[in-house]
A and B are shown apart, each in its own frame.
Chain A
Amino acid sequence: MQAIYIQILALILLTIGLATALSRRNMFFVLMGIELSLNAVNLSLVGFAKTLPAAASIAGQIIPLFTIGVAAAEACVGLAVVILLFRNQETVDTDNYSNMKG
Chain B
Amino acid sequence: MLALIYFIILSVLVVGSALCVLLSKHPLYGALSLVVTMLSLAGIYGLLGSPFVGVVQVMVYAGAVMMLLCFVIMVLNGARDNHTPRFDRVSLFIIPALIVLAVLIAIVLLNARFGFNAGTLRGSVALTSEALFDTSKASAGYFLIFEALGLLLLSAMATAVVLAKKKLGSPENSDSGEGR
Task: List residues of chain A with CB under 8 Å of any chain B CB.
Answer: 1-9, 11-20, 22-26, 28-29, 31-33, 35-36, 39, 42-43, 46-55, 57-59, 61-62, 64-66, 68-77, 79-84, 86, 90-93, 95
Whether A61 and B50, one on each chain, are in contact in the complex, defined by CB atoms closer than 8 angstroms, is: yes
How many B residues are at the interface, by size bracket? Answer: 35 or more
| Interface contact B115-A19, CB-CB below 8 Å | no
Contact of B79 with A26 in the complex, beta carbons under 8 Å: yes
Asked whether B109 is an interface residue with its Cβ less than 8 Å from the other chain, the reply is yes
Q: Are B99 and A15 in contact (CB under 8 A)?
A: yes
Q: A24-B86, A26-B27 are in contact. Are A77 and B159 (CB under 8 A)?
A: yes
Cα–Cα, bound, A1→B173 (Å): 57
Residue of A25, A26, A65, A70 touching B56 (CB-CB under 8 A): A65
12 more A-B residue pairs beyond the given contacts A33-B22, A36-B21, A72-B156, with a C-beta to C-beta distance below 8 A: A9-B11, A15-B98, A19-B22, A25-B86, A25-B87, A32-B21, A46-B45, A50-B48, A62-B128, A62-B131, A65-B128, A69-B152
The CA of A70 and the CA of B148, in the complex, are separated in Å by 11
Binary CB contact string for chain B from 106 to 123 against chain A (1 if under 8 A, 0 otherwise): 100110001111011101
Q: Would B53 and A64 count as touching, CB distance under 8 A?
A: yes
The answer to whether A82 touches B15 (Cβ under 8 A) is no
Interface of A (DSSP majority class): helix
Give the distance in Å from the alpha carbon of A3 to the alpha carbon of B48 in the complex: 10
Bound Cα distance from A23 to B85, whole angstroms: 11
In the bound complex, residues from chain A placing their C-beta under 8 Å from that of B156 are: 72-74, 76-77
Contact of B15 among A13, A18, A24, A59 (CB under 8 A): A13
With A77-B159, A77-B160, A86-B76 as known contacts, state yes or no: A16 contacts B69, CB within 8 Å: no
Chain A residues within 8 Å of B30, by CB: 28-29, 32
Q: Which residue of A lies closest to B20 (CB)?
A: A16
> In the complex, which residues of chain A have a beta carbon less than 8 angstroms from the beta carbon of B91?
22-23
